Chains A and B, each alone.
Chain A
Amino acid sequence: MLFFLTINKNGIVSYFPHLERDKQGSDVSLLTTPLPLAVIEEIQDQLHRRKLLDMWNFGKNKNTKLEIIRLLNDICGDTLHFSWEQIQANTLSHQGRFEEEVKDEIGVRFNQIVLGRQISIRDFRGLARELKILEERVIELAHRNVVQGKAQWVPSVKQHGRGWQCQRCGQEDVEEWPSLYGTAATCRGCQSIGVSTSLDVLYRDQRLLIESPREVIFLPHWDLTEAQRLASVQVLNYIQEASEGRALLWAACGAGKTEVCFPSAAWALKQGKSVLFAAPRQDVIYDIMPRLKRDFPKYPLQVLTGESSVKFQSGGLVLATTHQVLRFWRAFDIIFMDEMDAFPYQGSKALDWGLEHALRQGGKILYLTATPSPEGLKLVKQGKMRLIQLPARHHRKPLPIPVWLKSAYSLEPNCNGCTEEVVLQIRTLRREGPVLVFVPKISWVGSWIKSLRQYFPDWKVDGSYSSDLGRAQKIKRLIRGEFDLFVSTTILERGVTLPGIQVVVLGADHSIFDERALVQMAGRVGRTQECPGGGVIYISKQISPAMKTAVRWIKDQNRRAMELGLLDQQEGRRNLERSQRSL
């Protein structure tokens, strides 16, 4: 979107969006060629610097209009022809018109929706459609907020030192191209939610997400376990009092970490604070949504998923994928970031930047994970991040500890890895429940299914991988317990709960399996009340450092749970004995 540059009698340079001319004010000179905001800001900046210089030179009075044309020719490289026009006096003054409060229904609705948002022009187009008004009207309402100091226009991609920076995702690695206004730049970091270029703008609303505290009814439909209650108290304490801006909730797989945050969310909402639950993936969002709706009846919940379309809702409680978080600006007092170590959030600078900038100054982020990243653990060690632990599952049984089976052969397909010993172990596991066999690569899936079918002709053996077209169907059958043996790549690593499942990891020393993947795979076992135990076997030629770390993490969780009295006594002792025999 382009803006018209104006200068008033006092030489103040200002701008307004593309609107019908007769509605504009009086006594200003208008540059007839509209410009990108980035160019106007550059001019304002240069004029300001020159003014300071002129003061040193005892105020040589320069012609600002000429000065601006000269600057423009510099910036745009003589591409365009510029001219000035004097705007005649009009009944409504330009400023006056924008300073009025909006009172009509649409205007009020608009202002409820945009609170705390960061909105692109493309998003505004969607909003115009939703409100059934013209795009110009939406832009006018937005600009009114800018004039009133409630919001800001910023170039979507901005010159930053000697380079560029996307103002939506922080990306500095942009693509440059020739434009009418000199070199322009496009960001590729956040293109999945629409283009971001230096010729375009973002609207940043600077108001709080909630205008006034409203009634919060918090009706938890579950009892926290002892382990959850302890963690929950620590979370609340952190939210209410701690000085650290960041904390890490390190939970055992399947310990119910999300619910632990609900009491704190309720407290914060009652204080009139805004709360975001974020997660990298849509399936996690749809898993949390019904629980939030059930426990916070009547409180409006904004749910934002999907990469490109934007739904406009309002309210102080938001549930969003990390991509959607880029559509907020300094809006939240509290952010609960679930599954922080999952794709695509893990390692994405853009999403991390987005999360940091969705937080209000002085706000707090609690990262939730079963498998923290090395960077996260480093911050804990340095004392920059508070650590809260949730080491036990609701059934008060310890996490199953992986056992190592050394294989004399490589487990790659066609290397004789399917030995009598491997078959015997799988047969033993099957007595406890269906067996899930993880392999590091897609190319292993088919040949292992074939080998295992030969050994277990009476069993139902199948498998899947991420690009398998029949995947969804097979996973449904797997959840129903229709397979004896299921071979899979790490697609099943998270999220899915399979009652009674037993786990084998083939080629556990493969470089694709880091400690986090190994913990997550082991974490599939023993998640339900009915089947709280089970076996996990890592099969490989060597023990990798990741395998060692994974087992240490699991043992640490169990030990801590024991110390806190969160495990049933007998189980705890048996677990300790067992852990002496494992890795």
Chain B
Amino acid sequence: MKDLRGVSSEFLRSLWYKNEPVCVLCSEGDGPICPICTENYLHPELGRCLGCGKLIPIDLLQCQDCEAGKGPKQLDKVVAWGHYYGGLKEFIQNVKFNAHPNYIGQIIKPFSEWAISQLPAVDGVVAVPMHATKLGERGFNQAEVIASALHWELGLPILQGVKRIETRVSQVLLSRKERLQNLRGVFAVPNPEDYSGRSVWLVDDVTTTGATLEAVAEVLRGSGVRTIYGLCLAAGREKKLVPSSE
């Protein structure tokens, strides 16, 4: 690494990241994330499913789906920072649908600190690519913004070159099986030699079934990537844990 990097990253960081005096998720408690929101959305007391990143009881290794072999297979481990729910869900939706990529700066410090506590160091960060049409509507790819922020925060290089070839039906309304089918052949790596033998963090904003991460991981594996860790801002929570939904 160049010595300069520390300096320039520190300097650039000061442009985006103000110290957050109030909690980013609830605007009430102390910033950047207050103890109550930490408890409600980040759940440090829960474990993460190794297969798909879902929030699960601390004594388990995998969620029921992954246990039953229905989860992603290409990833070495997946972790999600918090539960895609309430304040964290609103925050992510505000970033995406109200076009506020700058808000990522407000959470990147606690998020990146958490990420290095959960995942081993790697050769670089890969953002899940977005199709050009959606990119045009939104003006930015939130996964890319998170990856860039991680780069500035932790000095990890960004690995580019995964392409999204076409848009399929939006994932939201599909079943798990349909989701995996729906994503076949959507991603490609034109220059596999850039990836051969590398280890990466594969970054996205939200994961529900892990299908998107799996589809990208598949082409990364095909390009010779050695180790792939999935990293997301938020994921679902094992249903069994929520009494009201039973």
Contact = CB atoms under 8 A, between A and B. Distances in A.
A186 B102 contact: yes
B61 to A, nearest CB: 34
B148 A186 contact: no
Interface in A129-180: 135, 175-180
Interface string B147-163: 11101100001111000
B177 to A, nearest CB: 31
Of the four ranges (under 10, 10 to 19, 20 to 34, 35 or more), the interface on chain A belongs to: 20 to 34
B137 interface: yes
A95 interface: no
A200 B16 CA distance: 20
Interface stretch (A62-70, A73-81, A544-552): A73-81
Contacts of A178: 12, 16, 101, 104-105, 145, 148-149, 151-152
B148 A179 contact: yes
Contacts of B8: 77
Nearest to A1: B136
Nearest to A78: B5
Nearest to A77: B8
A467 B139 CA distance: 33
A403 interface: no
Contacts of A197: 139-140
Given A80-B158, A184-B101, A177 B136 contact: no
Contacts of B157: 78-79, 81
A79 B137 CA distance: 24
B145 to A, nearest CB: 6
B9 A77 contact: yes
B140 A177 contact: yes
Contacts of B191: 32
Interface string B1-27: 010010011001001100000000000
Contacts of B100: 175, 186
Main SS class of interface, B: helix
Interface string A185-209: 0100001001111011000000000
B99 A121 contact: no
A33 B159 CA distance: 11
Interface string B49-74: 00000000000000000000000000
B107 to A, nearest CB: 12
A122 interface: yes
Interface residues on B, range: 20 to 34
B15 A176 contact: yes
Interface string A424-454: 0000000000000000000000000000000
A341 B116 CA distance: 56
Nearest to A82: B160
B148 A175 contact: no
Contact of A77 (B138, B152, B160): B152
A177 B16 contact: yes
B133 A177 contact: no
A121 B138 CA distance: 11
Given A183-B15, A199-B140, A200-B139, A177 B158 contact: no
A176 B139 CA distance: 13
A199 B138 CA distance: 11
B145 A196 contact: no
B194 interface: yes
Nearest to A80: B160
A180 B144 contact: yes
Contacts of A33: 160
Interface in B78-135: 99-102, 104-105, 132-133
A199 B145 CA distance: 12
Nearest to A181: B148
Contact of B139 (A180, A183, A186): A186
Contacts of A195: 99, 137-139
Interface in B194-242: 194
A186 B16 contact: no
A82 to B, nearest CB: 10
Interface in A186-235: 186, 191, 194-197, 199-200
A384 interface: no
B235 to A, nearest CB: 23
Contacts of A541: none
28 contacts: A33-B160, A77-B9, A77-B12, A77-B151, A77-B152, A78-B5, A79-B157, A81-B194, A122-B136, A125-B133, A175-B101, A176-B15, A176-B16, A177-B105, A178-B105, A178-B148, A178-B149, A178-B152, A179-B140, A179-B148, A180-B147, A180-B158, A182-B12, A183-B15, A186-B139, A186-B140, A195-B99, A200-B136
Given A177-B145, A178-B151, A186-B100, 14 more contacts: A33-B160, A77-B9, A79-B151, A79-B157, A121-B136, A125-B133, A176-B15, A176-B102, A179-B140, A179-B144, A182-B12, A184-B140, A186-B99, A196-B139
- Return the 10 tightest CB-CB contacts between A and B, nearest first: A195-B139, A177-B101, A177-B102, A178-B148, A197-B139, A175-B102, A178-B149, A79-B158, A121-B136, A122-B136
Interface of A: 1, 32-33, 77-81, 121-122, 125, 135, 175-180, 182-184, 186, 191, 194-197, 199-200
